Structure formats: structure tokens, C-alpha cells
Amino acid sequence: MYTETAMLGLDVPLRASERAYRQLRGEILNGLLAPGAALLEVEQAERIGVSRTPLREAVARLIADGLVVGRRGRGFEVTDISVDSIFELYELRQALEVQAIRLAATRREPTVFIELRKAFVSAPELLDQGDAGVHRYYLMIDELEDAVDAAVENPFLVGALRAVRTHLARIRRLARRNPLRLRAAAAEHLLIIDAIIAGDPSLAAHATHIHLHQSLVSVLAAIDEDSAAVVE
């Protein structure tokens, strides 16, 4: 026990508990299991095709992730997403990302970020290419995050950032994709990268703060529109 299955690439069959964890996590993140959804241990074990023991292990991990919460009496439920919880998450996100960017701007290997900069300079063209371009753009964001994580050299901080990103993934799903916002965000990322390359922690921190603020405004606006659309 207690090792997660080795990363992709090894010909090792997934343990049942890992399979259950990944399935449930994926379904929560992609919205199939909606916020607030109530789930029972026996029914989920049967649906996924594992026995209760590995299902319980998967659920325990999802509880630790904050994606589900135990209910009194029976079962567990997918955690809710409210406007309040989005604000709260962004408050935590800001504290962590500003610290991470400061450290990355201090400790970085510039070459990594210089390569990333080249890609981000082309982001507007990429975003004009439709879905495939947008998908590639999101991969670039992931690469930037990975580079910052590596530059930070702090497992505690990176762990906390990853926990935040898990929740963000769900929130992003709720927010409608806004082309103008994506273009603006690309420019904000470029500025952050430039600050990191320049080794200027203060500029990097402030640029990140502004980026997060604009991101939050955009998310909330999108959710507001959706709510209005649902009005009966």
C-alpha cells in the first residue's frame, strides 16, 4: 500500500481503487456528476464495477481533494459551487499564485520562459483558429503552470496550487468561453512571462494580481449570464 499507480507509460494495470478515483474525479470535473449530487457507496461501486473497498478508498481521496463531502447518515455528495465559493477560491488563489510568481521570478531559469514566450506571442493567431487553436492555447497555459511550479521549488506551495486548480477546473467549465477574454488573458500571461524573464518579482506579482482579478470578473459575468438565461 499506499502508492498510487505509476504514471502513464508503464504497463501496469490500474488498481481498482485508482480506476475508481480517476473515473469519479473525471466525472466530477467534467460535470457529469453535478455539484450537490448525492451518491451512495454501494451504487457507485456497482456502477463503476469495483467492490466497496477500493470505492471507499477512491472516495476518501476525493474527500481530501475537496471534490466530495461526506453526508450524515448515508453516502457522500459532490461539493457545491456557489458565487461565494468562487470568491473564496480566488482569494486563496491570489495568495498562492502571487507568492509562486514572486518565487518563480526570483529562482527561474530564463531559458524555459523564453521558449514559452515564443509560443504566447503567437496566441492571438492560435485563438483565431477555432476549437483546435483554443485547445492548444489551454495546453500552453498548462505548460506555463508547470514551468512556474518547477521554478518555485517548493512542494508545499505547489501542492496547494494544485489543489486550487482542481476546483478551478470545475469553475471554468461553468463559465462560457469568451473570445475577447481569452485574447486579453493571453496578453496578461505574456506580461507575467516577461516579468519572470526579467527577474522582477514585484512586476510579476502585480501582473498576476491583475490577471486574477480580470479572470474572476469574467467568470462571474459568465455565470451571471447563464443564470439570467435560466430565468423562467
- Please compute, for residue 200, the number of CA atoms within 13 A of its CA located in the half-sphere on the CB side: 12
Contact (CB, 8 A) for 83 and 220? yes
- Residue 54's binding partner among DNA, a copy of itself, none (Cβ under 5 to 8 angstroms by kind) is DNA
Q: Smallest distance, Å, CB 56 to DNA? A: 7
Q: Smallest distance, Å, CB 2 to a copy of itself? A: 3
What is residue 208's three-state secondary structure?
A: helix
> Residues with Cβ < 8 Å from 20, sequence gap 6 or more?
44, 45, 48, 50, 54, 55, 57, 58
- Residue 115's binding partner among DNA, a copy of itself, none (Cβ under 5 to 8 angstroms by kind) is none
- Residue 50's binding partner among DNA, a copy of itself, none (Cβ under 5 to 8 angstroms by kind) is DNA
| CB count in 10 Å sphere of residue 31 | 12
Q: Smallest distance, Å, CB 20 to a copy of itself? A: 13
**Sheet arrangement for strand 76-78:** 38-39, 76-78, 68-70
Taking CB under 7 A as the rule, does residue 77 contact DNA? no
Q: Which of 22, 31, 51, 213 binds DNA (CB under 7 A)?
A: 51
Q: Which is nearer to a copy of itself, 74 or 177 (CB)?
A: 74
Q: Which of 23, 54, 112, 144 binds DNA (CB under 7 A)?
A: 54
Q: Which is nearer to a copy of itself, 76 or 120 (CB)?
A: 76
Q: Smallest distance, Å, CB 75 to a copy of itself? A: 7
Contact (CB, 8 A) for 44 and 51? no
Contact (CB, 8 A) for 150 and 6? no
| 48 residue type, one letter | I
Q: Smallest distance, Å, CB 170 to DNA? A: 23
For 55-115, the DSSP string reads: HHHHHHHHHHHTSEEEPSSS-EEEPP--HHHHHHHHHHHHHHHHHHHHHHHHH--HHHHHH
Taking CB under 7 A as the rule, does residue 41 contact DNA? yes
Q: Smallest distance, Å, CB 62 to DNA? A: 14
**CA angle at 23 for the pair 89 and 150, rounded to the nearest 5°:** 50
Which residues bind to DNA, rule: CB under 7 A? Answer: 1-3, 15-18, 40-43, 50-54, 56-57, 72-76
Which residues bind to a copy of itself, rule: CB under 8 A? Answer: 1-4, 41, 53, 56-57, 59-61, 63-64, 66, 70-72, 74-76, 85, 88-89, 91-92, 94-96, 98-99, 103, 154-157, 159-160, 163-164, 167
